[in-house]
Amino acid sequence: MLARRGGWESSASPFLCAALRLLLVTAALPSLVTAVTRKNLKPAAVSPWRTLSGDAPSIVAKGGFSGLFPDSSEYAYKFSYVAGSPDTISWCDVRLTKDGKGICLPNLVIDNCTTIGDVYPDGKTNYIVNGETTSGWFSVDYDMKTLLPVSLKQDIYSRSNKFDGIFPILTVDDLVEQVKPAPIWLNIQHDLFYRQHNLSMRSYLLSLTRHVILSHVSSPELGFLSSIAGRLKKSKTKLIFRFLGEDTAEPSTNMTYGSLLKNLTFVKTFATGILVPKHYIWPVTSNGYLQPYTSFVMDAHKEGLEVFASDFANDAMLSYNYSYDPLAEVLSFIDNGIFSVDGILTDFPITPSEAIGDDVILDS
Ligand SMILES: *[C@@H]1O[C@H](CO)[C@@H](O)[C@H](O)[C@H]1NC(C)=O
Ligand SMILES: *[C@@H]1O[C@H](CO)[C@@H](O)[C@H](O)[C@H]1NC(C)=O
Ligand SMILES: *[C@@H]1O[C@H](CO)[C@@H](O)[C@H](O)[C@H]1NC(C)=O
Ligand SMILES: *[C@@H]1O[C@H](CO)[C@@H](O)[C@H](O)[C@H]1NC(C)=O
Ligand SMILES: *[C@@H]1O[C@H](CO)[C@@H](O)[C@H](O)[C@H]1NC(C)=O
């Protein structure tokens, strides 16, 4: 198992303070005030949500609060519960190690998000991934033991590097231990790549589900999702088909995601929901202006599919129509009077927490 560098409780305060300071810098405070005001005005009764179930939309924290701490780190996961809703779903991008262990890391090429290049300077290789030569460090070349000295770092360079080199890589089981009893969403990509390395995501996942209850499993690979659909049918786990760019070919069928989008009836045969880039729902022009919403959420709801929207980040370029307010952006997806997505995948889970009006426990 991984060496821990002190528990959350004992070592949290210096980091927490730094984190809170950063949060203030990223202007979370004014929005907090807004959230409190709105909450007080909201009537307590009937559900106003236009989600498929009528429940409030889910908040899915991509690698935890990855806008602040390194993606998939212990503090990133824990801080999303400190700063946001207790119902937040922890998202892990699963990669397999050489010895078949599942670890959470945001990219298939792991040199930007970890210190592996410093620890194993000669580890760079080239592999073919979905037909394209890709170069860098890959988890399939390392077993769990050789990954112990490797730690996580922020892979988006405009974000704080204050927490780089501190947190160990987490296995999925580590994550489960740390966020218990919060729900867990595993995103599984590149099944074909792991198979070329004689590793089976399917066997890994099915053996994991014997002792871990997963709320969601997503994949952009149709072949993979349908291969586990039968086995997970009786479980509570929701299977989500992830759409990538419209022109990208889905690797197991070679159909583009754009063409699969027109066949949601077919998608419904192996998935209970879909995850799409947010511009599928609210397109943005190349010069940053918002276009009218598409009928996408309504169409998917008609098929009985839940819709999750991805790519939310408070420090990314927003459409000008939101006047630089990430809260306004989230509200346009969940509270526009016409439709609501069923969940938001974000690097800053505090923002949908505020938008939904869940309790934000951030006492100064
Ligand atoms: C890693 O960082 C380099 C620049 O430092 C960038 O060109 C590359 O696209 C990044 N890779 C990933 C997977 O983000
Ligand atoms: C996978 O297994 C096959 C058959 O045992 C072997 O020929 C091949 O070299 C292995 N591939 C890798 C990447 O280990
Ligand atoms: C997908 O298309 C590429 C190039 O057109 C081809 O080489 C490959 O075999 C196709 N794969 C499948 C699964 O049809
Ligand atoms: C939807 O996809 C299925 C499976 O590929 C295909 O049989 C069916 O004809 C498609 N329907 C439409 C309307 O494209
Ligand atoms: C976004 O702003 C532009 C410029 O004011 C306006 O023309 C456009 O209609 C707005 N988009 C939406 C969806 O309101």
> Could you please report the per-residue DSSP string of 178-211?
HHTTS-EEEEE--HHHHHHTT--HHHHHHHHTTT
Residue 143 in domain: no
What pLDDT score was predicted for residue 234? 86
Q: From CA 242, how far away is CA 225, in angstroms rounded?
A: 10
Q: How far is the CA of 291 from the centre of ligand 5 (A)?
A: 7
- Residue with the smallest CA separation from ligand 1 atom 6 is 112
Residue 116 in domain: no
Whether the Cβ atoms of residue 11 and residue 4 lie closer than 8 Å to each other = no
Q: From CA 147, how far away is CA 45, in angstroms rounded?
A: 51
Round the average pLDDT of the chain to a whole number and report it.
Answer: 88
- Residue with the smallest CA separation from ligand 5 atom 11 is 290
Residue 76 in domain: yes
**Whether pLDDT at 319 is above 50:** yes
Between 17-21, 149-153, 259-263, 265-269, the lowest mean confidence (pLDDT) is in: 17-21
**Whether pLDDT at 35 is above 50:** no
- Residue with the smallest CA separation from ligand 4 atom 13 is 263
CATH of the domain at 167: 3.20.20.190
Structure tokens at 304: 């009985």
**Whether pLDDT at 358 is above 90:** no
Q: From CA 211, how far away is CA 45, in angstroms rounded?
A: 37
Q: For 276-299, what is each residue's pLDDT tens digit? A: 999 999 999 999 999 999 999 999
Ligand 1 close to Cβ of residue 129 (< 6 A): no
More confident residue, 269 or 7: 269
- Domain span at residue 183 reads 33-108+154-358
Q: Across-strand partners of 102?
A: 96
**Whether pLDDT at 33 is above 80:** no
Q: What pTM did the predictor assign?
A: 0.86
Residue 353 in domain: yes
**Whether pLDDT at 15 is above 90:** no
What pLDDT score was predicted for residue 357? 86
pLDDT category of residue 90 using cuts at 50, 70 and 90: very high
* Ligand 2 pocket test, candidate residues 127, 197, 198, 199, most atoms within 8 A of CB: 198
Residue tagged 């922890």 (tokens): 90
Ligand 1 close to Cβ of residue 107 (< 6 A): yes
Q: For 200-255, what is each residue's pLDDT tens digit? A: 999 999 999 999 999 999 999 999 999 999 999 889 999 999 999 999 999 999 99
Residue 120 in domain: no
Ligand 2 close to Cβ of residue 197 (< 6 A): yes
Question: Closest ligand 4 atom to the C-alpha of 265?
Answer: 1
Whether the Cβ atoms of residue 281 and residue 293 lie closer than 8 Å to each other = yes
- Give the DSSP letter of residue 91: E
Query: How far is CA 128 from each of CA 98, 99, 133, 189, 200, rounded to the nearest angstrom?
Result: 17, 20, 4, 14, 17
Residue 95 in domain: yes
**Whether pLDDT at 1 is above 80:** no
Structure tokens at 101: 């262990």
Residue 102 in domain: yes
- Residue with the smallest CA separation from ligand 4 atom 14 is 263
* Ligand 4 pocket test, candidate residues 257, 266, 303, most atoms within 8 A of CB: 266
- Ligand that comes closest to the CA of residue 253: 3
Residue 183 in domain: yes
Whether the Cβ atoms of residue 162 and residue 193 lie closer than 8 Å to each other = no
pLDDT category of residue 181 using cuts at 50, 70 and 90: confident
Structure tokens at 240: 């989500």
Number of domains the chain is built from: 1
What pLDDT score was predicted for residue 236? 92
Which residues sit with their C-beta closer than 6 Å to ligand 5? 289-292, 321
Structure tokens at 142: 């390392």
Single-letter residue type at 356: I
Q: What is the mean pLDDT of residues 268-281?
A: 97
User: CB burial class (10 A; 0-12, 13-18, 19+) of residue 350?
Assistant: buried
